[in-house]
Amino acid sequence: MTLIELAVVVCVVLGVAAGLVLGAQFGALGAVGGALGGGVAGLLVVVLLGAAFVIAIRSGEWWRPAYPTCKNGKCHSGDYELLAFSKELSELEQQHQKRGQGIVVRCACGNRYLYSSTHRRFMELRPDASAVPYMVHKPFARRWIRAA
């Protein structure tokens, strides 16, 4: 059972129990109606919590800076292609990824970069697969700045 399934079961059971207790004041029919209403209310709580979680994740993605403009100044965020699992990667580029230094992306111009969201950096990959700092961003900033 996953955590989501557990949350659904717990919320629905608690809703049914609360509905039974509150509806019992109005007799057997009230108890049945209260149990049904409580089950629906418990399910609604799970849906609202899930929606709040999705909204929090989406707002974090909105705030996080997109890829910077490439070195040639032509390619923007939507022009990059993820090469993380591509067969086009050289052995050295695969080693960068295995060491957790980032994922390999390619702009439309053909330049390759190593992007690390955890280290907040964007590094240029040279033809020999050495990584050279290109851009960085501060924790709560949306703009990329040149790496020193």
Residue pLDDT, tens place only, 14-53: 999 999 999 989 988 999 999 999 999 999 999 999 999 9
Phi-psi region of 81 (alpha: psi -120 to 50; beta: other; left: phi over 0): beta
- Do 144 and 65 form a contact (C-beta atoms < 8 A)? yes
- Write the CB contacts of 129 (distance below 8 Å, at least 6 apart in sequence): 90, 92, 93, 96
Q: What is the mean pLDDT of residues 124-147?
A: 86
pLDDT band at 137, cuts 50/70/90?
Answer: confident
Q: How many whole angstroms separate alpha carbon 123 and alpha carbon 99?
A: 15
Q: Note the pLDDT of residue 57.
A: 81
128, pLDDT greater than 90: no
- CA angle 67–70–74, rounded 5-degree value: 115
- Write the CB contacts of 147 (distance below 8 Å, at least 6 apart in sequence): 121, 123, 133, 134, 135, 136
Residue pLDDT, tens place only, 42-89: 999 999 999 999 998 887 767 666 789 999 999 988 899 988 777 787
Q: How many whole angstroms separate alpha carbon 92 and alpha carbon 112?
A: 13
Query: Smallest Cα–Cα separation from 20: which of 2, 34, 3, 5?
Result: 34
Residue pLDDT, tens place only, 76-124: 888 999 887 777 877 778 887 778 788 889 999 999 998 887 778 899 9
12, pLDDT greater than 90: yes
Q: Note the pLDDT of residue 21.
A: 92
- Write the CB contacts of 132 (distance below 8 Å, at least 6 apart in sequence): 123, 124, 125, 126
Q: Note the pLDDT of residue 37.
A: 94
